[in-house]
Protein backbone atom coordinates (compact mmCIF):
# COMPACT_ATOMS: atom_id res chain seq x y z
CA UNK A 1 0.00 0.00 0.00
CA UNK A 2 1.34 3.48 -0.88
CA UNK A 3 2.37 6.10 1.68
CA UNK A 4 -0.72 8.18 0.93
CA UNK A 5 -3.30 5.66 2.09
CA UNK A 6 -3.94 7.07 5.56
CA UNK A 7 -5.65 10.45 5.55
CA UNK A 8 -3.55 12.60 7.89
CA UNK A 9 -3.36 16.26 6.86
CA UNK A 10 -0.51 18.67 7.64
CA UNK A 11 -2.75 20.55 10.01
CA UNK A 12 -3.54 17.29 11.78
CA UNK A 13 0.16 16.53 12.17
CA UNK A 14 0.79 20.05 13.57
CA UNK A 15 -2.16 19.72 15.90
CA UNK A 16 -0.97 16.30 17.09
CA UNK A 17 2.53 17.72 17.72
CA UNK A 18 1.30 20.81 19.59
CA UNK A 19 -1.13 18.76 21.63
CA UNK A 20 1.67 16.46 22.68
CA UNK A 21 3.70 19.44 23.93
CA UNK A 22 0.65 20.88 25.63
CA UNK A 23 -0.08 17.58 27.31
CA UNK A 24 3.35 17.65 28.83
CA UNK A 25 2.86 21.19 30.00
CA UNK A 26 -0.54 20.47 31.49
CA UNK A 27 0.71 17.40 33.27
CA UNK A 28 3.51 19.36 35.07
CA UNK A 29 1.81 22.73 35.75
CA UNK A 30 -1.95 22.17 36.15
CA UNK A 31 -2.72 18.47 36.57
CA UNK A 32 -5.65 18.98 38.93
CA UNK A 33 -7.37 21.54 36.76
CA UNK A 34 -6.97 19.42 33.56
CA UNK A 35 -8.40 16.34 35.20
CA UNK A 36 -11.38 18.26 36.45
CA UNK A 37 -11.82 19.94 33.05
CA UNK A 38 -11.94 16.55 31.33
CA UNK A 39 -14.48 15.39 33.84
CA UNK A 40 -16.58 18.53 33.52
CA UNK A 41 -16.42 18.97 29.70
CA UNK A 42 -17.35 15.64 27.96
CA UNK A 43 -15.87 14.92 24.48
CA UNK A 44 -18.28 15.04 21.55
CA UNK A 45 -18.64 12.18 19.01
CA UNK A 46 -16.53 13.92 16.37
CA UNK A 47 -13.62 14.34 18.78
CA UNK A 48 -13.75 10.72 19.90
CA UNK A 49 -14.03 9.59 16.27
CA UNK A 50 -10.93 11.59 15.38
CA UNK A 51 -9.04 10.01 18.27
CA UNK A 52 -10.15 6.56 17.08
CA UNK A 53 -8.92 7.40 13.60
CA UNK A 54 -5.52 8.52 14.93
CA UNK A 55 -5.18 5.35 16.97
CA UNK A 56 -6.19 3.40 13.89
CA UNK A 57 -3.46 5.16 11.90
CA UNK A 58 -0.90 4.13 14.51
CA UNK A 59 -2.03 0.51 14.36
CA UNK A 60 -2.01 0.60 10.57
CA UNK A 61 1.57 1.90 10.48
CA UNK A 62 2.52 -0.88 12.87
CA UNK A 63 0.88 -3.34 10.43
CA UNK A 64 -1.69 -4.40 13.02
CA UNK A 65 -4.42 -4.28 10.42
CA UNK A 66 -7.14 -6.08 12.39
CA UNK A 67 -6.76 -3.62 15.28
CA UNK A 68 -6.72 -0.71 12.86
CA UNK A 69 -9.86 -2.06 11.18
CA UNK A 70 -11.74 -2.10 14.48
CA UNK A 71 -10.68 1.45 15.33
CA UNK A 72 -11.69 2.79 11.89
CA UNK A 73 -15.04 1.03 12.23
CA UNK A 74 -15.53 2.68 15.64
CA UNK A 75 -14.74 6.05 14.08
CA UNK A 76 -17.27 5.45 11.29
CA UNK A 77 -19.98 4.48 13.77
CA UNK A 78 -19.38 7.75 15.60
CA UNK A 79 -19.09 9.86 12.47
CA UNK A 80 -20.69 8.02 9.50
CA UNK A 81 -20.45 10.97 7.10
CA UNK A 82 -16.64 11.15 6.98
CA UNK A 83 -15.26 10.11 3.60
CA UNK A 84 -11.75 9.97 5.09
CA UNK A 85 -12.74 7.31 7.62
CA UNK A 86 -14.21 5.10 4.88
CA UNK A 87 -11.10 5.72 2.80
CA UNK A 88 -8.85 4.62 5.64
CA UNK A 89 -10.89 1.51 6.32
CA UNK A 90 -10.82 0.69 2.60
CA UNK A 91 -7.02 0.88 2.75
CA UNK A 92 -7.03 -1.46 5.72
CA UNK A 93 -9.30 -3.97 3.98
CA UNK A 94 -6.94 -3.95 1.02
CA UNK A 95 -4.01 -4.89 3.25
CA UNK A 96 -6.13 -7.78 4.54
CA UNK A 97 -6.82 -8.79 0.90
CA UNK A 98 -10.55 -8.24 1.40
CA UNK A 99 -10.99 -6.37 -1.88
CA UNK A 100 -14.79 -6.58 -1.99
CA UNK A 101 -15.18 -4.83 1.36
CA UNK A 102 -12.46 -2.35 0.41
CA UNK A 103 -14.28 -1.55 -2.83
CA UNK A 104 -17.56 -1.02 -0.98
CA UNK A 105 -15.91 1.45 1.43
CA UNK A 106 -14.05 3.30 -1.32
CA UNK A 107 -17.22 3.76 -3.33
CA UNK A 108 -19.10 4.93 -0.23
CA UNK A 109 -16.36 7.50 0.36
CA UNK A 110 -16.86 8.77 -3.20
CA UNK A 111 -20.60 9.10 -2.64
CA UNK A 112 -19.86 11.28 0.38
CA UNK A 113 -17.12 13.23 -1.42
CA UNK A 114 -17.22 12.92 -5.26
CA UNK A 115 -13.89 14.76 -5.49
CA UNK A 116 -12.02 12.29 -3.25
CA UNK A 117 -9.15 11.35 -5.58
CA UNK A 118 -7.56 8.72 -3.33
CA UNK A 119 -10.87 6.87 -3.08
CA UNK A 120 -10.91 6.54 -6.89
CA UNK A 121 -7.34 5.23 -6.74
CA UNK A 122 -8.45 2.56 -4.30
CA UNK A 123 -11.43 1.68 -6.49
CA UNK A 124 -9.04 1.18 -9.41
CA UNK A 125 -6.75 -1.05 -7.35
CA UNK A 126 -9.62 -3.13 -5.98
CA UNK A 127 -11.31 -3.55 -9.36
CA UNK A 128 -8.02 -4.67 -10.89
CA UNK A 129 -7.42 -7.22 -8.11
CA UNK A 130 -10.95 -8.56 -8.65
CA UNK A 131 -10.47 -8.80 -12.43
CA UNK A 132 -13.01 -6.06 -13.19
CA UNK A 133 -11.37 -4.43 -16.20
CA UNK A 134 -14.22 -2.03 -16.94
CA UNK A 135 -14.38 -0.86 -13.31
CA UNK A 136 -10.63 -0.32 -13.32
CA UNK A 137 -10.74 1.73 -16.51
CA UNK A 138 -13.62 3.88 -15.23
CA UNK A 139 -11.80 4.63 -11.97
CA UNK A 140 -8.60 5.47 -13.87
CA UNK A 141 -10.57 7.87 -16.04
CA UNK A 142 -12.01 9.67 -12.98
CA UNK A 143 -8.57 10.06 -11.40
CA UNK A 144 -7.23 11.59 -14.62
CA UNK A 145 -10.21 13.96 -14.81
CA UNK A 146 -9.67 15.08 -11.22
CA UNK A 147 -5.91 15.43 -11.67
CA UNK A 148 -4.48 15.26 -15.16
CA UNK A 149 -0.94 15.14 -13.77
CA UNK A 150 -1.59 12.20 -11.44
CA UNK A 151 0.48 9.03 -11.88
CA UNK A 152 -1.24 7.19 -9.02
CA UNK A 153 -3.09 4.78 -11.32
CA UNK A 154 -0.60 4.46 -14.19
CA UNK A 155 0.27 0.89 -13.15
CA UNK A 156 -3.41 -0.08 -12.94
CA UNK A 157 -4.08 1.37 -16.38
CA UNK A 158 -1.24 -0.68 -17.90
CA UNK A 159 -2.31 -3.82 -16.04
CA UNK A 160 -5.92 -3.45 -17.26
CA UNK A 161 -4.68 -3.32 -20.86
CA UNK A 162 -2.59 -6.48 -20.31
CA UNK A 163 -5.60 -8.23 -18.80
CA UNK A 164 -7.69 -7.44 -21.87
CA UNK A 165 -5.06 -9.02 -24.11
CA UNK A 166 -4.73 -12.03 -21.82
CA UNK A 167 -8.49 -12.60 -21.74
CA UNK A 168 -8.62 -12.71 -25.54
CA UNK A 169 -5.74 -15.23 -25.63
CA UNK A 170 -7.32 -17.32 -22.87
CA UNK A 171 -10.67 -17.46 -24.66
CA UNK A 172 -9.06 -18.49 -27.97
CA UNK A 173 -7.17 -21.34 -26.29
CA UNK A 174 -10.23 -22.42 -24.33
CA UNK A 175 -12.30 -22.57 -27.51
CA UNK A 176 -9.65 -24.77 -29.15
CA UNK A 177 -9.49 -26.98 -26.03
CA UNK A 178 -5.82 -26.13 -25.46
CA UNK A 179 -6.31 -26.38 -21.73
CA UNK A 180 -2.63 -26.41 -20.78
CA UNK A 181 -2.20 -23.08 -22.52
CA UNK A 182 -5.29 -21.73 -20.77
CA UNK A 183 -3.82 -22.61 -17.36
CA UNK A 184 -0.51 -20.96 -18.34
CA UNK A 185 -2.13 -17.67 -19.38
CA UNK A 186 -4.51 -17.70 -16.41
CA UNK A 187 -1.53 -17.85 -14.06
CA UNK A 188 -0.28 -14.64 -15.69
CA UNK A 189 -3.73 -13.06 -15.34
CA UNK A 190 -3.95 -14.05 -11.67
CA UNK A 191 -0.69 -12.25 -10.95
CA UNK A 192 -2.42 -9.06 -12.07
CA UNK A 193 -5.83 -9.93 -10.59
CA UNK A 194 -5.15 -12.25 -7.62
CA UNK A 195 -8.68 -12.02 -6.21
CA UNK A 196 -10.53 -12.75 -9.44
CA UNK A 197 -12.76 -15.75 -8.71
CA UNK A 198 -13.67 -16.08 -12.39
CA UNK A 199 -10.04 -16.68 -13.31
CA UNK A 200 -9.54 -19.11 -10.44
CA UNK A 201 -12.56 -21.20 -11.36
CA UNK A 202 -11.71 -21.24 -15.07
CA UNK A 203 -8.25 -22.50 -14.13
CA UNK A 204 -9.84 -25.16 -11.91
CA UNK A 205 -12.12 -26.26 -14.75
CA UNK A 206 -9.16 -26.66 -17.12
CA UNK A 207 -7.16 -28.53 -14.47
CA UNK A 208 -10.08 -30.97 -14.18
CA UNK A 209 -10.07 -31.43 -17.97
CA UNK A 210 -6.35 -32.20 -17.71
CA UNK A 211 -6.95 -34.84 -15.04
CA UNK A 212 -5.49 -32.73 -12.20
CA UNK A 213 -8.63 -33.06 -10.14
CA UNK A 214 -7.05 -32.66 -6.71
CA UNK A 215 -5.74 -29.20 -7.63
CA UNK A 216 -9.04 -28.27 -9.24
CA UNK A 217 -11.01 -29.41 -6.20
CA UNK A 218 -8.84 -27.34 -3.83
CA UNK A 219 -9.58 -24.21 -5.85
CA UNK A 220 -13.33 -24.93 -6.03
CA UNK A 221 -13.62 -25.61 -2.30
CA UNK A 222 -11.65 -22.43 -1.56
CA UNK A 223 -14.07 -20.35 -3.63
CA UNK A 224 -17.09 -22.05 -2.04
CA UNK A 225 -15.82 -20.96 1.39
CA UNK A 226 -15.94 -17.39 0.13
CA UNK A 227 -19.24 -17.79 -1.72
CA UNK A 228 -21.46 -20.78 -0.93
CA UNK A 229 -23.86 -19.79 -3.72
CA UNK A 230 -21.28 -19.82 -6.52
CA UNK A 231 -22.79 -22.00 -9.26
CA UNK A 232 -19.43 -22.03 -11.06
CA UNK A 233 -17.62 -23.39 -8.00
CA UNK A 234 -20.23 -26.11 -7.49
CA UNK A 235 -20.02 -26.97 -11.20
CA UNK A 236 -16.22 -27.38 -10.96
CA UNK A 237 -16.60 -29.59 -7.91
CA UNK A 238 -19.10 -31.71 -9.82
CA UNK A 239 -16.64 -31.86 -12.72
CA UNK A 240 -13.94 -33.24 -10.40
CA UNK A 241 -16.34 -35.92 -9.16
CA UNK A 242 -17.30 -36.78 -12.73
CA UNK A 243 -13.68 -37.17 -13.81
CA UNK A 244 -12.95 -39.48 -10.88
CA UNK A 245 -15.87 -41.78 -11.79
CA UNK A 246 -18.20 -40.53 -9.02
CA UNK A 247 -21.05 -40.09 -11.49
CA UNK A 248 -23.92 -40.06 -8.98
CA UNK A 249 -22.32 -37.32 -6.86
CA UNK A 250 -21.36 -35.43 -9.99
CA UNK A 251 -25.00 -35.36 -11.12
CA UNK A 252 -26.05 -34.03 -7.70
CA UNK A 253 -23.58 -31.15 -7.97
CA UNK A 254 -24.60 -30.23 -11.51
CA UNK A 255 -28.25 -30.16 -10.42
CA UNK A 256 -27.34 -28.01 -7.41
CA UNK A 257 -25.55 -25.54 -9.71
CA UNK A 258 -28.65 -25.41 -11.93
CA UNK A 259 -30.83 -24.72 -8.89
CA UNK A 260 -28.69 -21.65 -8.17
CA UNK A 261 -28.44 -20.68 -11.84
CA UNK A 262 -31.04 -22.32 -14.11
CA UNK A 263 -29.22 -20.99 -17.19
CA UNK A 264 -25.85 -22.49 -16.26
CA UNK A 265 -25.08 -24.03 -19.66
CA UNK A 266 -21.99 -26.01 -18.62
CA UNK A 267 -23.86 -27.72 -15.80
CA UNK A 268 -26.71 -28.66 -18.15
CA UNK A 269 -24.24 -30.12 -20.63
CA UNK A 270 -22.28 -32.07 -18.01
CA UNK A 271 -25.40 -33.38 -16.26
CA UNK A 272 -26.59 -34.82 -19.57
CA UNK A 273 -23.20 -36.34 -20.35
CA UNK A 274 -22.89 -37.74 -16.83
CA UNK A 275 -26.30 -39.42 -16.97
CA UNK A 276 -25.62 -40.82 -20.43
CA UNK A 277 -22.27 -42.33 -19.39
CA UNK A 278 -23.75 -43.80 -16.22
CA UNK A 279 -26.58 -45.45 -18.13
CA UNK A 280 -24.36 -46.86 -20.89
CA UNK A 281 -21.77 -48.15 -18.45
CA UNK A 282 -24.44 -49.96 -16.42
CA UNK A 283 -26.06 -51.40 -19.56
CA UNK A 284 -22.72 -52.65 -20.85
CA UNK A 285 -21.95 -54.33 -17.55
CA UNK A 286 -25.39 -55.97 -17.48
CA UNK A 287 -24.96 -57.33 -21.02
CA UNK A 288 -21.50 -58.65 -20.18
CA UNK A 289 -22.70 -60.46 -17.07
CA UNK A 290 -25.54 -62.04 -19.04
CA UNK A 291 -23.14 -63.33 -21.69
CA UNK A 292 -24.33 -61.02 -24.46
CA UNK A 293 -20.76 -60.08 -25.33
CA UNK A 294 -21.18 -58.61 -28.80
CA UNK A 295 -23.97 -56.30 -27.62
CA UNK A 296 -21.80 -55.27 -24.66
CA UNK A 297 -18.95 -54.55 -27.10
CA UNK A 298 -21.17 -52.14 -29.04
CA UNK A 299 -22.29 -50.34 -25.86
CA UNK A 300 -18.75 -49.93 -24.52
CA UNK A 301 -17.55 -48.66 -27.90
CA UNK A 302 -20.32 -46.05 -28.06
CA UNK A 303 -19.68 -45.00 -24.44
CA UNK A 304 -16.02 -44.34 -25.25
CA UNK A 305 -17.08 -41.67 -27.74
CA UNK A 306 -18.90 -39.55 -25.15
CA UNK A 307 -15.94 -37.81 -23.50
CA UNK A 308 -12.35 -38.27 -24.63
CA UNK A 309 -11.08 -36.30 -21.60
CA UNK A 310 -12.52 -38.64 -18.96
CA UNK A 311 -9.44 -40.85 -18.54
CA UNK A 312 -10.71 -42.59 -15.42
CA UNK A 313 -14.01 -43.78 -16.88
CA UNK A 314 -12.54 -44.43 -20.34
CA UNK A 315 -9.82 -46.66 -18.89
CA UNK A 316 -12.51 -48.76 -17.20
CA UNK A 317 -14.62 -48.89 -20.36
CA UNK A 318 -11.59 -49.98 -22.38
CA UNK A 319 -10.74 -52.67 -19.83
CA UNK A 320 -14.31 -53.95 -19.95
CA UNK A 321 -14.20 -54.03 -23.73
CA UNK A 322 -10.89 -55.90 -23.58
CA UNK A 323 -12.59 -58.53 -21.42
CA UNK A 324 -15.39 -58.77 -23.97
CA UNK A 325 -12.82 -59.23 -26.73
CA UNK A 326 -11.25 -62.17 -24.87
CA UNK A 327 -14.68 -63.78 -24.62
CA UNK A 328 -15.33 -63.54 -28.36
CA UNK A 329 -11.80 -64.57 -29.33
CA UNK A 330 -10.49 -61.18 -30.43
CA UNK A 331 -7.21 -61.47 -28.53
CA UNK A 332 -5.31 -58.92 -30.59
CA UNK A 333 -8.11 -56.38 -30.12
CA UNK A 334 -8.06 -57.16 -26.39
CA UNK A 335 -4.32 -56.40 -26.31
CA UNK A 336 -4.94 -53.14 -28.20
CA UNK A 337 -7.57 -52.10 -25.63
CA UNK A 338 -5.23 -52.96 -22.75
CA UNK A 339 -2.51 -50.89 -24.40
CA UNK A 340 -4.82 -47.88 -24.43
CA UNK A 341 -5.81 -48.48 -20.80
CA UNK A 342 -2.17 -48.51 -19.73
CA UNK A 343 -1.49 -45.35 -21.72
CA UNK A 344 -4.19 -43.64 -19.65
CA UNK A 345 -3.16 -45.28 -16.38
CA UNK A 346 0.12 -47.20 -16.19
CA UNK A 347 -0.83 -48.48 -12.71
CA UNK A 348 -3.99 -50.28 -13.90
CA UNK A 349 -3.12 -53.75 -12.57
CA UNK A 350 -6.13 -55.61 -13.99
CA UNK A 351 -5.36 -54.40 -17.52
CA UNK A 352 -1.71 -55.41 -17.13
CA UNK A 353 -2.65 -58.93 -16.00
CA UNK A 354 -5.24 -59.29 -18.76
CA UNK A 355 -2.73 -58.25 -21.41
CA UNK A 356 -0.20 -60.72 -20.00
CA UNK A 357 -2.78 -63.50 -20.29
CA UNK A 358 -3.61 -62.49 -23.87
CA UNK A 359 0.07 -62.44 -24.81
CA UNK A 360 0.42 -65.95 -23.40
CA UNK A 361 -2.55 -67.18 -25.44
CA UNK A 362 -1.05 -65.52 -28.53
CA UNK A 363 2.23 -67.34 -27.76
CA UNK A 364 4.03 -64.04 -27.23
CA UNK A 365 5.70 -65.44 -24.16
CA UNK A 366 8.42 -62.85 -23.68
CA UNK A 367 5.83 -60.04 -23.63
CA UNK A 368 3.72 -62.07 -21.21
CA UNK A 369 6.64 -62.52 -18.80
CA UNK A 370 7.47 -58.79 -19.00
CA UNK A 371 3.88 -57.86 -18.07
CA UNK A 372 3.77 -60.27 -15.14
CA UNK A 373 7.09 -58.89 -13.87
CA UNK A 374 5.70 -55.35 -14.02
CA UNK A 375 2.52 -56.50 -12.28
CA UNK A 376 4.57 -58.09 -9.49
CA UNK A 377 6.28 -54.74 -8.91
CA UNK A 378 2.87 -53.11 -8.48
CA UNK A 379 1.48 -55.78 -6.16
CA UNK A 380 3.47 -58.64 -4.69
CA UNK A 381 0.86 -61.37 -4.21
CA UNK A 382 1.23 -65.17 -4.28
CA UNK A 383 -1.17 -65.34 -7.22
CA UNK A 384 0.90 -62.99 -9.39
CA UNK A 385 4.09 -64.83 -8.40
CA UNK A 386 2.47 -68.08 -9.52
CA UNK A 387 1.39 -66.60 -12.85
CA UNK A 388 4.88 -65.23 -13.42
CA UNK A 389 6.43 -68.67 -12.79
CA UNK A 390 4.01 -70.24 -15.26
CA UNK A 391 4.75 -67.56 -17.85
CA UNK A 392 8.48 -68.09 -17.51
CA UNK A 393 7.97 -71.83 -17.85
CA UNK A 394 5.89 -71.30 -21.00
CA UNK A 395 8.62 -69.03 -22.38
CA UNK A 396 11.24 -71.69 -21.70
CA UNK A 397 9.11 -74.33 -23.41
CA UNK A 398 8.55 -72.07 -26.41
CA UNK A 399 12.28 -71.84 -27.03
CA UNK A 400 12.57 -75.61 -27.39
CA UNK A 401 11.95 -77.34 -30.70
CA UNK A 402 8.31 -78.17 -31.17
CA UNK A 403 8.57 -81.83 -32.07
CA UNK A 404 4.84 -82.16 -32.60
CA UNK A 405 4.96 -79.32 -35.10
CA UNK A 406 8.00 -80.84 -36.84
CA UNK A 407 6.08 -84.09 -37.37
CA UNK A 408 2.87 -82.23 -38.20
CA UNK A 409 0.77 -83.88 -35.49
CA UNK A 410 -1.20 -82.88 -32.42
CA UNK A 411 -0.15 -83.36 -28.82
CA UNK A 412 -2.71 -86.09 -28.30
CA UNK A 413 -1.50 -88.24 -31.20
CA UNK A 414 -1.24 -92.01 -30.66
CA UNK A 415 1.92 -94.07 -31.13
CA UNK A 416 0.70 -95.24 -34.54
CA UNK A 417 0.04 -91.66 -35.61
CA UNK A 418 3.54 -90.67 -34.48
CA UNK A 419 5.06 -93.54 -36.51
CA UNK A 420 3.06 -92.69 -39.62
CA UNK A 421 4.03 -89.04 -39.34
CA UNK A 422 7.71 -89.92 -39.00
CA UNK A 423 7.57 -92.31 -41.99
CA UNK A 424 6.01 -89.59 -44.15
CA UNK A 425 8.31 -86.74 -43.08
CA UNK A 426 11.48 -88.86 -43.14
CA UNK A 427 10.81 -89.96 -46.70
CA UNK A 428 10.10 -86.38 -47.76
CA UNK A 429 13.34 -84.95 -46.32
CA UNK A 430 15.73 -87.92 -46.81
CA UNK A 431 19.01 -86.72 -48.42
CA UNK A 432 18.77 -89.33 -51.22
CA UNK A 433 15.66 -87.63 -52.51
CA UNK A 434 17.52 -84.34 -52.86
CA UNK A 435 20.77 -85.63 -54.29
CA UNK A 436 20.33 -83.53 -57.44
CA UNK A 437 19.38 -80.34 -55.58
CA UNK A 438 21.68 -77.37 -54.98
CA UNK A 439 24.14 -77.49 -52.09
CA UNK A 440 22.05 -74.99 -50.14
CA UNK A 441 18.85 -76.99 -50.63
CA UNK A 442 20.62 -80.27 -49.69
CA UNK A 443 21.89 -78.66 -46.48
CA UNK A 444 18.41 -77.42 -45.58
CA UNK A 445 16.81 -80.81 -46.22
CA UNK A 446 19.50 -82.59 -44.18
CA UNK A 447 18.70 -80.31 -41.24
CA UNK A 448 14.99 -81.05 -41.56
CA UNK A 449 15.73 -84.79 -41.85
CA UNK A 450 17.72 -84.60 -38.61
CA UNK A 451 14.94 -82.69 -36.81
CA UNK A 452 12.36 -85.27 -37.92
CA UNK A 453 14.58 -88.00 -36.46
CA UNK A 454 15.01 -86.09 -33.19
CA UNK A 455 11.28 -85.60 -32.93
CA UNK A 456 10.57 -89.27 -33.42
CA UNK A 457 13.33 -90.29 -30.99
CA UNK A 458 11.71 -88.23 -28.24
CA UNK A 459 8.03 -88.81 -28.97
CA UNK A 460 8.37 -92.56 -29.54
CA UNK A 461 10.04 -93.01 -26.14
CA UNK A 462 7.40 -92.95 -23.38
CA UNK A 463 9.80 -91.65 -20.71
CA UNK A 464 11.26 -88.90 -22.89
CA UNK A 465 7.87 -87.93 -24.26
CA UNK A 466 6.48 -87.59 -20.74
CA UNK A 467 9.37 -85.36 -19.70
CA UNK A 468 9.09 -83.31 -22.89
CA UNK A 469 5.33 -82.84 -22.47
CA UNK A 470 5.80 -81.68 -18.87
CA UNK A 471 8.31 -79.05 -20.01
CA UNK A 472 11.41 -80.70 -18.62
CA UNK A 473 14.67 -80.50 -20.53
CA UNK A 474 15.93 -83.57 -22.29
CA UNK A 475 19.54 -84.21 -21.28
CA UNK A 476 21.94 -82.98 -23.94
CA UNK A 477 23.93 -86.19 -23.53
CA UNK A 478 20.96 -88.18 -24.77
CA UNK A 479 20.97 -86.15 -28.01
CA UNK A 480 24.71 -85.71 -28.45
CA UNK A 481 25.37 -88.94 -30.34
CA UNK A 482 22.06 -88.97 -32.20
CA UNK A 483 22.38 -90.31 -35.77
CA UNK A 484 19.33 -89.60 -37.96
CA UNK A 485 20.44 -92.11 -40.56
CA UNK A 486 20.71 -94.86 -37.96
CA UNK A 487 17.25 -93.87 -36.70
CA UNK A 488 15.94 -94.11 -40.27
CA UNK A 489 17.49 -97.55 -40.89
CA UNK A 490 16.24 -98.90 -37.57
CA UNK A 491 12.73 -97.63 -38.17
CA UNK A 492 12.36 -99.15 -41.61
CA UNK A 493 14.02 -102.36 -40.52
CA UNK A 494 11.57 -102.95 -37.72
CA UNK A 495 8.53 -101.31 -39.28
CA UNK A 496 8.36 -102.95 -42.69
CA UNK A 497 10.23 -100.40 -44.76
CA UNK A 498 10.72 -102.73 -47.78
CA UNK A 499 13.19 -105.22 -49.21
CA UNK A 500 15.87 -102.72 -50.16
CA UNK A 501 16.17 -101.07 -46.76
CA UNK A 502 19.95 -101.50 -46.61
CA UNK A 503 20.60 -99.51 -49.76
CA UNK A 504 17.88 -96.85 -49.10
CA UNK A 505 17.12 -96.66 -52.81
CA UNK A 506 13.48 -95.74 -52.26
CA UNK A 507 11.05 -94.63 -54.89
CA UNK A 508 9.83 -91.32 -53.58
CATH, domain 403-473+483-488, list 3.30.460.20, 3.40.640.10, 1.10.287.110, 1.10.1040.10 = 1.10.287.110
Sign of CA dihedral 13, 19, 22, 24: negative
pLDDT digits (tens, 9 = 90+) for 448-499: 888 888 888 888 888 888 888 777 766 544 554 567 777 777 777 666 554 4
User: Which one, of 328, 338, 403, 327, lies nearest residue 364 by Cα?
Assistant: 338
Tell me, what's the pLDDT at 432?
A: 83
Give CATH 1.25.40.10 domain extents, the chain. 81-163, 196-282, 291-399
User: Is the per-residue pLDDT at 306 higher than 70?
Assistant: yes
Q: Any residues with CB less than 8 A from the CB of 88 and at least 6 apart, and which?
A: 5, 6, 7, 53, 56, 57, 60, 72
Distance CA(142)–CA(131), nearest Å, equals: 19
Give CATH 1.10.287.110 domain extents, the chain. 403-473+483-488
CATH, domain 196-282, list 3.40.50.620, 1.10.1740.10, 1.25.40.10, 3.40.47.10 = 1.25.40.10
User: Is the per-residue pLDDT at 366 higher than 90?
Assistant: yes
291-399, CATH topology level:
1.25.40
| Mean pLDDT of all residues in 265-287 | 95
Q: Domain 81-163 - what CATH class?
A: mainly alpha
| Mean pLDDT of all residues in 174-181 | 96
- Highest mean pLDDT among 18-27, 382-391, 453-462, 463-472 belongs to 382-391
Asked whether 8 and 57 are in contact (CB, 8 A), the reply is yes
User: Is the per-residue pLDDT at 88 higher than 50?
Assistant: yes
- Tell me the pLDDT band of 24, cut-offs 50, 70 and 90: very low
Helix 231-242 vs helix 265-289: angle between axes, to the nearest 10 degrees?
Answer: 20
DSSP code of residue 167? H
| Mean pLDDT of all residues in 286-312 | 94
Amino acid sequence: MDDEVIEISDSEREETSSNSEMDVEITTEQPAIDVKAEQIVPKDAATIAEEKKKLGNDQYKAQNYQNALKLYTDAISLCPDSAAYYGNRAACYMMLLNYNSALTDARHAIRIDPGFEKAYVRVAKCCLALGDIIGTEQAVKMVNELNSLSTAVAAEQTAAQKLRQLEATIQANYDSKSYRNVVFYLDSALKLAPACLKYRLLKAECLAFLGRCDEALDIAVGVMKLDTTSADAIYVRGLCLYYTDNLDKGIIHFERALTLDPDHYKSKQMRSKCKQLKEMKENGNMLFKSGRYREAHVIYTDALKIDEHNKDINSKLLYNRALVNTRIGNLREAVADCNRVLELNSQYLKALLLRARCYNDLEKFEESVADYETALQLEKTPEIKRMLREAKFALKKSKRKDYYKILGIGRNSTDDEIKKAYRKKALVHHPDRHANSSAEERKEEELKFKEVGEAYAILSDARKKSRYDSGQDIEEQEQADFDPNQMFRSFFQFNGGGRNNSSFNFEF
